[in-house]
Structure 1
Amino acid sequence: MDTATLDAMKATLRGPVIGPQDAEYSRARTVYNAMIDKRPAALVRCTDAADVMAAVDFVRDNGLELAVRGGGHSGPGLCLVDDGVTIDLSPMRWVRVDPVARTAQVGGGSLLGDLDHAAHAFGLATPGGIISTTGVGGLTLGGGHGYLTRTHGLTVDNLLAADVVLADGGFVTANETDTPDLFWALRGGGGNFGIVTSFTYRLHPVDTVGVAITLWPVDGTRDVLAWYREFLPQAPEDVYAFFAAFVIPPVPPFPEELHGQKMCGIVGCHTGDPSRFEEAFTAVQEPGRPTFHFTTRMPYPALQSMFDALLPAGHQWYWRGDFFDRIPDGALDVHLKYGENIPTPLSLLHLYPVDGAAHRVGPDDTAWGYRDAVWSGVVAGVDPDPDNAEIIKHWCVDYWQELHPYSMGGSYVNFMGTGESQERVRATYGNHYDRLARIKRTYDPDNLFRANQNIEPARQA
């Protein structure tokens, strides 16, 4: 982008336009994953929907590449584009809760922590994530799952409306009755269809929740997972527990003698009757006496932010994901092999439940393509040292490649990594890909919104 074009953009928009010559540039292009080092020609911090509309028009009319940044948590760095323009929604960070209607309207640049905080004041919440610094936009458009999914569904199952800036610079509010095809696509189709400037969610009564963390030595992975694959799907829907293999960090509540040890176990959340909380997790004794079993009750936002300090922005990240409807014996061996060889203290494997209430939504009711999945898995190599980037990448890729044959073939779109093939993208959107491609043709025929796990517009018949 030449200076004249950059100056013209600055004159067009209310929000700041940051170029490579500006002092803020290095910080503005920094995202959660420090492995990403892209250099946009400009970053536009939009203050409102009108700014987003003007920015889209400017980018399109000048033939520039475009990316969209909400919370900046995109693992493969799709919120930045080299030599193009990033539309940064971070100034649009606000939440308005209607406690009577039990809804929340949330700005497109908001983080999960913003929504959790605002809704918690009224004893309310909606499903989404386990790290409070995650942007609501990327998480929601990919489908969204978290501690409340077994009880209240996916994030998109609780999306009531979305304000969207389209590729032609127009603005629509998408819901079940207005542009329902677009609303369907937004619920799991990623950022392919427009820029969402606000989301409206249904909220549920959630206040203080039960939290259980139970751990065993990593060499017991086969027995623990064999128990977990039976326990979790049969548990009441108010019981949630994701499986994890990781290195114990030197923080409370973990005792000092466990620090640095490789362990496997579950992180559980109970949203039911508090008097039944302890009973809900008594089955953790079945695979063998746990090395560590911790239970407490805490406000829901405290659970949502529990891992924030362990996994702050600025680390090297490399991840891959898959959906699973079962955990066969062969997969147990893979998890044991790679769990015993976790390469760095922050690298991990998580299996997140996506059953329960999420299974009661029809397979074609939203663009989320795997309503029959029971777990959404992610392998993540994580380390603060750039010198370890290749080590964590190879561990992640090797682990994923050995585990993938036991998967359903596709992934939660937000757990896809860098440079994945178009075949992999198709597998991730599943049977909905062709329908999504037709909707893409309607709303973005020239594929302006392509800095994502891209759905190419369908060709005209």
Structure 2
Amino acid sequence: MTITPSQNKTLFDYLAALLTGQLILPDDAAYESVRQLWNGRVKTRPAAIARCLTVEDVIHTVRWTREHGLPLSVRGAGHEIFGRSLRENGVAIDLSQMKAITVDPVAHTAQVQSGATAGELIGAAEKYGLATTTGTVSSVGMTGLTLGGGYGSLIGAYGLAADNLLSAQVVTADGQLITASAEEHSDLLWGLRGGGGNFGVVVSLEYRLHSLTTVLSGMLLYPLEQARTVLSNFNEFITTAPDELTIRSGFLQTPDGATALFLSPTYCGAIAAGEEVIAPLRTFGNLLVDRVQPVTYNDLIHQLNVFTPAGRHYYLQTRSLAGLQTETIEVLIEQGLPLPSPFSTINIHHFHGAASRVGVSETAFALRQDHLMIEIIAAWEPQSPDEEQRHLQWAQHISRSLAPYAFKGGYINLLDREEQERVPLAFGSNYERLLDLKRRYDPDDVFHSTIGHLTP
């Protein structure tokens, strides 16, 4: 169904009357600011945005939208690359105002509404000396992160964000509220742990928390001419890294315009032990910068926010490698550098430890062997279409060059719309089970625009 501007007001008056929250239409003064996602490159314009404040708002919106045959999408915190949370001329369920967090310090759990960010969850948990796996920046929404898997700096000790998901409340495609847990709808809980936002509107999540406040973390910078040696040493070092140590690595541009290699370790055990464990990293090359020090985990995930501001234009490609071979190191250096802008980076996530010990079939997330997930992040201030193409082509070229050495699938949270063929490969032997779940919980493919792009 297509909605013309003249039809908007009359048609949507009925939905607006059902909501506790606001219904935002294109003519409203707040529309542009509400519509905008973290990635300023996304220009999709829904016919209406339902800013839900309650679960009942979500139920009403799902039922009303389906009754009127309109496309439906779901937005959490809005920190998103490819704009899958908005559909042109559709209705967007906006959960970003639903942020309530309740921490149980005795049970070490947190109940989190679906609009909450990593920073908001960790800020609440820190008061009790607790934390869980999150993304590396505080503005990332916990719901989208978790539904796709959820890499982060605590992955070695605590597993993926999805591995810490204990239960979830979900509004289904027919507007029913159900709970997915080990006791009820356990099949759905399995699918929510890394299977994407394909089965309904997740309105709250329950997480397992761990005793943690302070970590040993920071940035080690090495000169570019030593990158081959440092990365070779790094690749050998991580094969025996303890669970408590997870290391991001990659390339960035320094304030003076030079390109540098970085290693960013995070150790979540005793600080003294961590100093001993990471000491070899300092011998891999001639350090330009050493900023590794004790820091609260809450402060750590806020530190990178300045490098990833909302509204900048972003484009991302991703590949996952079993490790760094000579050939893949050459690709990163020869094809990836120089970086196309001061804001662009190549970011390498370290997957190991507790995350690797989860069985392939235990959750929907299937890549459970030690690996490195490469993020090729193009970021720029908008100038011209030609300028945009230069950034896109840079990221795509590196991705194609890494493909012969990479696992055939990919991290579904970071796959582009044009990479649909990689989705079944990402889920591997779990894909057919996910299709069965899709047929059971969303047979009409209402949520096909959300993460994962599964079709029933």
Q: Alpha-carbon deviations, 1:315-344, whole Å to 9, x = none?
A: 110001122222222101101113432110
Match of 1:299 among 269, 279, 296: 296
RMSD: 1.2
Structure 1 residue 419, shift from structure 2 partner: 2.4
State whether residues 78 and 96 of structure 2, in contact with CA within 8 Å, keep that contact through their aligned partners in structure 1: no
Match of 2:344 among 334, 343, 347: 347
Secondary structure of residue in 1 paired with 2:305: coil
Cα distance change of structure 1 residues 263 and 161 upon mapping to structure 2, 3 Å threshold: same
CA distance in 1, matches of 2:306, 2:345: 16
Please state if 1:359 is matched with 2:356.
yes
State whether residues 76 and 115 of structure 2, in contact with CA within 8 Å, keep that contact through their aligned partners in structure 1: yes
Secondary structure of residue in 2 paired with 1:75: coil
CA distance in 2, matches of 1:285, 1:27: 45
Report matched runs for 1:117-136 at 5 Å.
117-136=123-142
CA distance in 1, matches of 2:57, 2:335: 47
Matched letter for residue 380 of structure 1: I
Question: What is the match of residue 414 of structure 2?
Answer: 415
Please state if 1:287 is matched with 2:293.
no
Structure 2 segments unaligned to the other structure (5+ residues) = none
Report matched runs for 1:375-390 at 5 Å.
375-387=372-384, 388-390=387-389
CA distance in 2, matches of 1:420, 1:148: 28
Secondary structure of residue in 2 paired with 1:36: coil
Structure 1 residue 288, shift from structure 2 partner: 2.3
State whether residues 218 and 340 of structure 1, in contact with CA within 8 Å, keep that contact through their aligned partners in structure 2: no
Question: What is the match of residue 253 of structure 1?
Answer: none
Report matched runs for 1:423-438 at 5 Å.
423-438=421-436
Q: Alpha-carbon deviations, 1:154-183, whole Å to 9, x = none?
A: 111111100000001011110112001111
**Percent sequence identity over matched residues?**
36
TM-score w.r.t. length of structure 2: 0.96
State whether residues 219 and 340 of structure 1, in contact with CA within 8 Å, keep that contact through their aligned partners in structure 2: no
TM-score w.r.t. length of structure 1: 0.95
Please state if 1:245 is matched with 2:242.
no
CA distance in 1, matches of 2:344, 2:280: 27
State whether residues 168 and 180 of structure 2, in contact with CA within 8 Å, keep that contact through their aligned partners in structure 1: yes
Q: Alpha-carbon deviations, 1:220-260, whole Å to 9, x = none?
A: 22212111111123111111111111112x4xxxxxxxx32
Please state if 1:332 is matched with 2:338.
no
State whether residues 250 and 261 of structure 2, in contact with CA within 8 Å, keep that contact through their aligned partners in structure 1: yes
Question: What is the match of residue 254 of structure 1?
Answer: none
Please state if 1:178 is matched with 2:175.
no
Please state if 1:220 is matched with 2:226.
yes
CA distance in 2, matches of 1:267, 1:339: 19
State whether residues 38 and 310 of structure 2, in contact with CA within 8 Å, keep that contact through their aligned partners in structure 1: yes
Question: What is the match of residue 405 of structure 2?
Answer: 406
CA distance in 1, matches of 2:425, 2:351: 18
Structure 1 residue 373, shift from structure 2 partner: 4.1
CA distance in 1, matches of 2:97, 2:271: 39
State whether residues 336 and 398 of structure 2, in contact with CA within 8 Å, keep that contact through their aligned partners in structure 1: no
Report matched runs for 1:9-408 at 5 Å.
9-248=15-254, 250=255, 259-387=256-384, 388-408=387-407
State whether residues 221 and 335 of structure 1, in contact with CA within 8 Å, keep that contact through their aligned partners in structure 2: no
State whether residues 218 and 263 of structure 1, in contact with CA within 8 Å, keep that contact through their aligned partners in structure 2: yes
State whether residues 217 and 267 of structure 2, in contact with CA within 8 Å, keep that contact through their aligned partners in structure 1: yes
CA distance in 2, matches of 1:123, 1:386: 45
CA distance in 2, matches of 1:449, 1:179: 19
Matched letter for residue 394 of structure 1: Q
CA distance in 1, matches of 2:224, 2:416: 26
Structure 1 residue 97, shift from structure 2 partner: 0.3
Structure 1 residue 294, shift from structure 2 partner: 2.0
CA distance in 1, matches of 2:314, 2:371: 25
Structure 1 stretches (4+) deviating beyond 4 angstroms? none
Structure 1 segments unaligned to the other structure (5+ residues) = 251-258
